[in-house]
Amino acid sequence: MELYELTLKQAQEFLAKNPNRKDELTKTLADRIKQVDSKLNTYINFDSKHAQKNGDVKGPLSGIPVSIKDNIVTRDWETTCASKILKGFVPPYDATVIRKLREAGAVIFGKCNMDEFAFGSSCETSCFGPTRNPWNLDFVPGGSSGGSAAAVAGRTAIAALGSDTGGSIRQPASFCGVVGLKPTYGRVSRYGLVAFGSSLDQIGPITRTVEDSAILLNVLAGHDEKDSTSANVPVPDYTSFLTKSVKGLKIGLPKEYFVKGLDPEVEKAVKQATSVLQDLGASVTEISLPHMKYAIAVYYVVAVAEASSNLGRFDGVEYGFRHESSNLRDMYFETRNQGFGAEAKRRILLGTFVLSAGYYDAYYLKGLKVRTLIKQDFDQAFQKVALVLGPTAPTPPFRIGEKMSDPLSMYLSDIYTISANLAGVPAMNVPCGFSAAGLPIGMQLTAKPFDEGTIFRAGSAYESATKWHEKVPKL
């Protein structure tokens, strides 16, 4: 086994036994990137001089390289959000999650490719070109954290951070056959995450195993005085849930998830995964989330409204790209015209429209009201069951270019993931099979707020009983 193939847990064990081989671990991974990343394009920015720093801090992640989605700011290291408008932006501070990783000894390893400003479900809107799926280079890795997910699957990263506003950790994890967790809103500090939809965004781990996810969340979670929306709720040891049996665990399958539009291969794999958990002692019942079908409509009002407001700050004055002009208005308008890509413009315009005079009540306010109904659906479901199980994405990965000309069909690939952001609940993708064409399929486990423990419990039990996570793409 090569060192770049180690899981986070295995890397911890390896370095505990061989503390003087830290540099070897990062070097092997750097060599791997040189070897395969011209095919995958998982990194926007990789510089081994940054990777060498911090190797000597003692902590649970001491010496272990962790890769970072390029919308999380890193001090003195360019952060681009895969957008031309942030060209040359070198943050003067670290995001809280970066500080926590450094304090735990992790090596901040490289900045991963993504959809521009996290707007996308395929990693094709990056101004640095698309990331490719390690299982088949003609297919997308999902998005927006496609670089992070493809890096973990393609063994150009041991573990990575992503961000999730409507499925941007879970859907690419599903497409790449890795584990991706969107924690409860407020569980992980957003300080230093470039904002997209501030009431929806969460940072979370993308890893090869459920165990690795728990190890990373232990480091990331917790209250932060620099993020007033971070929750002051105690952080349990998430690894303590990994060995708990699922005997007696109540799991609900929403009947609205298994309807037209769901790919038969995905349906079959998810149903089989349900049987595995049942055989391990979990009890499965049908539940209903009646407003689920409105989730995408709500999202494309609420998320774009927040995005249009958040992206107002990119005007060429203080950082990033500026179109020089002697006229101030022209500088603003042309900086934004040249700096933003097509999908960013689409969302800024849509958000501006739904917030504009005369349309606010019909669109934005209505969206917020239906968001309440979606949240209430989850509240009611969690009175009956401890875990909601369903597909993460309606289909296996699609081809590069397939959905780029039709934004709505792209948006629909997040149909199962968006509601967790609207309701603020934690949800995880766990790999549960492959299509006949050899592309990964994932299931989504959703729990009530701050109950990530139950997700780890079920995810780990399933992973121990199956072998999907041991499959490796050939590159």
Binding-site ranges for other proteins (CB under 8 A): 88-90, 92-93, 185-186, 199, 225, 228-229, 231, 291, 294, 296-298, 300-301, 308, 312, 315-322, 324-328, 331-334, 336-337, 340, 342, 345-346, 348-350, 352-353, 356, 362-363, 365-373, 375, 407-408, 411, 422-424, 449
**Selected catalytic residue, list 62, 168, 413, 419:** 168
Q: How far is CA 472 from its chain centroid?
A: 20
DSSP string spanning 69-93?
Answer: ETTB-BTTB---TT-GGGTT---SS
CB of 269 to other proteins, least distance (A): 28
- Sign of the dihedral defined by the CA atoms of residues 266, 268, 269, 274, in that order: positive
Our CA angle for 253, 413, 364, nearest 5°, is 95
Cβ proximity to other proteins: between 257 and 363 the closer is 363
CA distances from residue 20 to 56, 101, 270, 425 in whole angstroms, order as listed: 10, 20, 43, 41
Overall size of the chain counted in residues: 475
For residue 390, the cross-strand partners are 444
**168 noted as active-site residue:** yes
Cβ proximity to other proteins: between 242 and 348 the closer is 348
CB of 172 to other proteins, least distance (A): 22
- CB 306, CB 190: distance < 8 Å: no
Q: How far apart are CA 441 and CA 175, in angstroms?
A: 7
CB of 239 to other proteins, least distance (A): 26
DSSP string spanning 230-252?
Answer: S-------GGGGTT---TT-EEE
Cβ proximity to other proteins: between 172 and 424 the closer is 424
**Selected catalytic residue, list 9, 22, 69, 100:** 69
CB of 152 to other proteins, least distance (A): 28
Collect contacts of 356-359 with beta carbons under 8 A, ≥24 apart.
none
**435 noted as active-site residue:** no
Cβ proximity to other proteins: between 154 and 197 the closer is 197
- CB 134, CB 63: distance < 8 Å: no
**144 noted as active-site residue:** yes
- CB 455, CB 181: distance < 8 Å: yes
By C-alpha distance, which of 239, 178, 172, 242 is closest to 207? 178
What is residue 427's three-state secondary structure? strand
Tell me whether residue 425 is exposed, middle or buried, using C-beta atoms within 10 angstroms of its C-beta: 0 to 12, 13 to 18, 19 or more. Answer: buried
Cβ proximity to other proteins: between 128 and 300 the closer is 300
CA distances from residue 459 to 65, 337, 398 in whole angstroms, order as listed: 24, 44, 25
CB of 290 to other proteins, least distance (A): 10
- CB 161, CB 135: distance < 8 Å: no
CB of 41 to other proteins, least distance (A): 25
Cβ proximity to other proteins: between 36 and 90 the closer is 90
CB of 263 to other proteins, least distance (A): 21
CB of 299 to other proteins, least distance (A): 9
Cβ proximity to other proteins: between 14 and 89 the closer is 89
Our CA angle for 55, 44, 437, nearest 5°, is 105
**Selected catalytic residue, list 62, 126, 144, 174:** 144
Q: How far apart are CA 140 and CA 437, in angstroms?
A: 14
Cβ proximity to other proteins: between 166 and 449 the closer is 449
CB of 216 to other proteins, least distance (A): 22
By C-alpha distance, which of 238, 248, 287 is closest to 450? 238
Cβ proximity to other proteins: between 98 and 159 the closer is 98
* Cis before 213 (ω within 30): no
DSSP annotation of 52? H
Q: Which residues are catalytic?
A: 69, 144, 168
